[in-house]
């Protein structure tokens, strides 16, 4: 896959129409920016080096963060990018932190005034006996940006149906060594992020109860799946998900990233349409998931996320943030500020920029 200012091909789809996910396809829907002065801290995006299957670097990132909404800071979350090719196996993920720290410095030099990458959530094997060595190495490589670890739980039941199938170990959340590692993150003032699927949410809640001193970040609503055996079952899944999410929210050490539902694996089909959704269309099918999460966690434990460039297969940055602002409009200004910036800054310990982007 190649790119020209986007994370996806600028190729032609069937019938001569732009290919879903391409820059030309995303441009088919243009909207004025909603609430343009609202500050945003995006707590979840990825970067990949050029030449890979999904290239998304600082030029693509700044094009998205600078597309009209007032995004001042971002947090990078691990995605197996830029690992070291040699050296001790357990330290190879530190190469990703080195790659992102370098990209963050380059972004400031090349794009002055743009949104800055101020947090890095790296990867570590939390069962490894040398965990402290790994965490120290991430910290040293990060330029002061290292805030936590994501060692995910996602294990797909129908991996062949997924665009990005999770293949982590079965029963990982119950592993005593893993729980010791998650507990160690809290002792060091670091967060634990997890990507998992909706049928694993109760495992996450059980883990949260076992490590009350660690801030646990649930990514992407717990990823309600809409492909494979779960295709066409959103209503049914929502009923179970609603209770499971409430169980997670009952654990005071948990916070929720609310976003990521435009991933193709969620099964809403945006990426298969002749044109991308408008913000109203996006809200119409996803509002209930957001409103329930906000109800049970409260705004001070919720943070809107982009999950770009993965969600970019389905929707542009401008339209996506418009949709999130339309959902947030039901809440007062202080609550909106929490969900768009305050919670992310507090959870990840980000300093407020000295001047607005």
| Those residues with Cβ within 8 angstroms of residue 223's Cβ, 6 or more apart along the chain or in another chain | 154, 195, 196, 197, 198, 260, 263, 265, 266
What lies within 8 Å, CB to CB, of 95 at 6+ separation is 82, 83, 84, 85
- The CATH architecture of the domain made up of 36-348 is Alpha-Beta Barrel (3.20)
The answer to whether the Cα torsion of 86, 88, 89, 91 is positive or negative is: negative
**Closest-CA residue to 303 (of 245, 352, 254, 231):** 254
How would you write the pLDDT of the chain (357 residues) with one tens digit per residue?
223 333 444 455 555 679 888 999 999 999 999 999 999 999 999 999 988 778 899 999 999 999 999 999 999 999 999 999 999 999 999 999 999 999 999 999 999 999 999 999 999 999 999 999 999 999 999 999 999 999 999 999 999 999 999 999 999 999 999 999 999 999 999 999 999 999 999 999 999 999 999 999 999 999 999 999 999 999 999 999 999 999 999 999 999 999 999 999 999 999 999 999 999 999 999 999 999 999 999 999 999 999 999 999 999 999 999 999 999 999 999 999 999 999 999 999 999 986 544
Q: Are the beta carbons of 142 and 134 closer than 8 angstroms?
A: no
- CA gap 64, 71 in Å, rounded: 9
CB atoms within 10 A of CB 143: 16
Question: Which pLDDT score, from 0 to 100, does residue 289 have?
Answer: 98
Q: How far apart are CA 144 and CA 218, in angstroms?
A: 24
| Beta-carbon contacts of residue 348 (< 8 Å; ≥ 6 apart) | 43, 75, 119, 121, 147, 148, 191
Q: Domain ranges in the chain?
A: 36-348
Rounded to whole angstroms, how far apart are CA atoms 272 and 238?
Answer: 22
Show Cβ contacts of residue 284 under 8 Å, excluding neighbours closer than 6 positions.
Answer: none
Residue 193: alpha-carbon gap to chain centroid: 10
Q: What is the pLDDT of residue 53?
A: 72
Can you say how many angstroms the Cα of residue 205 is from the centroid of all Cα atoms in its chain?
Answer: 19
């Amino acid at each position: 896959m190649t790119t020209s200012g986007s994370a996806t091909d600028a190729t032609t789809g069937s019938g001569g129409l732009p290919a879903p996910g391409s820059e030309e396809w995303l441009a088919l829907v243009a909207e004025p920016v909603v609430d343009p002065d609202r500050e945003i801290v995006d707590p979840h995006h990825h970067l990949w080096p050029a030449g890979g299957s999904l290239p998304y670097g600082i030029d693509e990132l700044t094009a998205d963060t600078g597309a009209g909404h007032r995004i001042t800071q971002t947090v990078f979350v691990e995605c197996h990018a830029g690992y070291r090719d040699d050296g001790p196996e357990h330290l190879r993920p530190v190469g990703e932190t080195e790659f992102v720290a370098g990209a963050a410095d380059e972004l400031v030099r090349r794009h002055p005034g743009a949104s800055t990458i101020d947090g890095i959530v790296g990867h570590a094997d939390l069962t490894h006996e040398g965990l402290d060595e790994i965490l120290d190495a991430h910290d040293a490589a990060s330029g002061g940006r290292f805030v936590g670890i994501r060692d995910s739980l996602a294990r797909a039941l129908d991996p062949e149906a997924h665009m990005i199938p999770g293949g982590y170990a079965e029963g990982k959340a119950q592993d005593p060594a893993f729980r010791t590692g998650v507990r160690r993150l809290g002792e060091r003032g670091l967060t634990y992020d997890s990507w998992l699927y909706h049928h694993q949410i109760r495992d996450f809640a059980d883990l949260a109860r076992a490590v009350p001193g660690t801030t646990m970040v649930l990514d992407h609503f717990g990823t309600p799946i809409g492909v494979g055996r779960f295709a066409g079952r959103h209503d049914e899944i929502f009923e179970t998900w609603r209770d499971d999410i409430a169980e997670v929210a009952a654990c005071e050490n948990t916070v929720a990233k609310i976003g990521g539902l435009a991933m193709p694996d969620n099964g809403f089909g945006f990426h298969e349409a002749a044109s991308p959704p408008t913000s109203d269309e996006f809200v119409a099918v996803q509002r209930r998931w957001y409103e329930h999460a906000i109800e049970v966690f409260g705004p001070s434990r919720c943070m809107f996320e982009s999950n770009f460039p993965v969600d970019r297969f389905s929707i542009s940055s401008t339209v996506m943030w418009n949709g999130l602002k339309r959902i947030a409009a039901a809440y007062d200004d202080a609550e909106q500020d929490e969900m768009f910036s305050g919670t992310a800054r507090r959870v990840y310990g980000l300093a407020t920029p000295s001047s607005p982007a």
